[in-house]
């Protein structure tokens, strides 16, 4: 057994109040495991929700948070090819730690040319964006995709992927000042999420009838987005930033037959065959190597300052990174 530092919470609550930095022991890797020494890990909104006990499913406590991160394999179990030692990898879960063991089928090899702080943000948001765009509608070149929360990490990834694939994006934001930054990523149109959004969006669409809308906010924002869809179109909800329930007018169902779906990457990864998972990450890493999905890092903190790091992450404005090892 070897001892390492890890951020843990022993009860759910406000992240800055319940997180502790503990000494934890790491055993040698079991037969199908690898031991990874962590370089860095981002703090995602979902990580904070997990610590609060408000996301997805309950965790066994104490728990090490961190839905993704990047590190290097330092040891392998008996049935794992020794060539994995020294490889840079993405880990799936419990990433806010100096070192830990993960099953081999839950790590993803990172191309040598990709920096660790870039790779560390590729496990959650870009795969979510890729699947939102590919699982719910058979999009053709020139088709429009609608989305709110366009400045979020998923929203930005949607713009970059759609631009690469020849699809147009109409992006709904809270502040008009965000438009220039999103257009630089490849956004085709940006409108403000207010009472005039529907009219502004229709002017942009010019009669086009989008079949896919992506919702991460809920409430009236989602209703406005769904109102722009063609009959039989699909609104996919993958987040609930407003903490307001979906409000679906009866006419959306009766007269327009709109489809309302939900998406959670964790559920998809658990159900998908290994070859589909591998193909997903191959696509994401290929796009990352071409320059997509570069994180907007606004602050970095050492693991020992995790309470300050989550406080900064709660302020928003970009990605906060835990810088763990070298």
Encode pLDDT of 215-242 as tens digits: 999 999 999 999 999 999 999 999 999 9
> 159-191: per-residue pLDDT in tens?
999 999 999 999 999 999 999 999 999 999 999
pLDDT of residue 107: 97
3-state SS of the chain: helix, strand, coil percent to 5? Answer: 35, 25, 40
* Model pTM score: 0.96
CATH class of 2-121+295-323: alpha beta
Percent of the chain exceeding pLDDT 90 equals 97
The encoded tokens of residue 190 equal 């940006």
Convert the pLDDT of each residue in 8-43 to its tens digit.
999 999 999 999 999 999 999 999 999 999 999 999
- How high is the pLDDT of residue 85? 98
Domain ranges of the chain: 2-121+295-323, 125-266
What local confidence, expressed as pLDDT, does residue 164 receive?
97
Strand 319-323 with 297-302, pairing: parallel
Structure confidence at residue 179 (pLDDT): 96
Percentage of residues of the chain with pLDDT beyond 70: 100
Asked if 2-121+295-323 and 125-266 have one fold, the answer is: no
Give dist(CA 115, CA 93) in Å, integer. Answer: 20
Whether residue 292 contacts residue 260, with contact meaning beta carbons closer than 8 Å, is answered with no
CA 166/CA 186 separation, integer angstroms: 10
CATH for the 125-266 domain, from 3.40.50.720, 2.170.190.11, 3.90.226.30, 3.20.20.210: 3.40.50.720
* pLDDT higher than 90, residue 57: no
Using pLDDT thresholds of 50, 70 and 90, give the confidence band for residue 56: confident
pLDDT at 326 over 90: no
Mean pLDDT of 123-136: 98
Q: Given CA atoms 110, 112, 113, 116 in this order, what sign does their dihedral have?
A: positive
Catalytic residues: 55
What are the pLDDT digits (tens) for 134-145? 999 999 999 999
């Amino acid at each position: 057994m070897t001892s390492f530092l890890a951020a843990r919470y022993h009860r759910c609550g406000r992240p800055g109040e319940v997180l502790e930095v503990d000494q934890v022991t790491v055993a040698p890797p079991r037969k199908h495991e690898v031991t990874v020494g962590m370089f860095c890990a981002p703090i995602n909104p979902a990580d904070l929700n997990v610590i609060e006990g408000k996301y997805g499913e309950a965790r066994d406590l104490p728990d090490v948070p961190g839905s993704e991160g990047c590190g290097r394999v330092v040891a392998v179990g008996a049935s794992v090819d020794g060539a994995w030692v020294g490889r840079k990898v993405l880990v799936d879960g419990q990433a806010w730690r100096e070192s830990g063991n993960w099953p081999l089928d839950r790590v993803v090899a990172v191309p040598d040319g990709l920096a660790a702080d870039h790779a560390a943000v590729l496990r959650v948001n870009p795969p979510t964006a890729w699947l939102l765009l590919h699982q719910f509608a058979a999009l053709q070149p020139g088709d429009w995709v609608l989305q709110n929360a366009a400045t979020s990490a998923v929203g930005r990834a949607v713009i970059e992927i759609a631009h690469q694939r020849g699809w147009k994006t109409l992006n709904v934001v809270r502040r008009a000042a965000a438009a220039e930054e999103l257009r630089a990523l490849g956004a085709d149109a940006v409108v403000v999420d207010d009472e005039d959004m529907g009219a502004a969006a229709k002017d942009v669409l010019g009669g086009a009838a989008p079949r896919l809308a992506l919702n991460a906010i809920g409430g009236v924002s989602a209703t406005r987005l769904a109102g722009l869809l063609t009959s039989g179109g699909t609104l996919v909800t993958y987040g609930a930033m407003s903490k307001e329930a979906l409000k679906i007018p009866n006419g959306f169902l009766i007269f327009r037959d709109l489809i309302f779906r939900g998406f959670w990457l964790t559920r998809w990864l658990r159900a998908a065959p290994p070859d589909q998972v591998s193909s997903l990450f191959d696509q994401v890493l290929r796009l990352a190597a071409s320059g997509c999905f570069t994180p907007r890092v606004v602050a970095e903190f050492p693991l020992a300052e995790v309470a300050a790091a989550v406080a900064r992450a709660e302020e928003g404005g970009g990605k906060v990174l835990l810088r763990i090892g070298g």
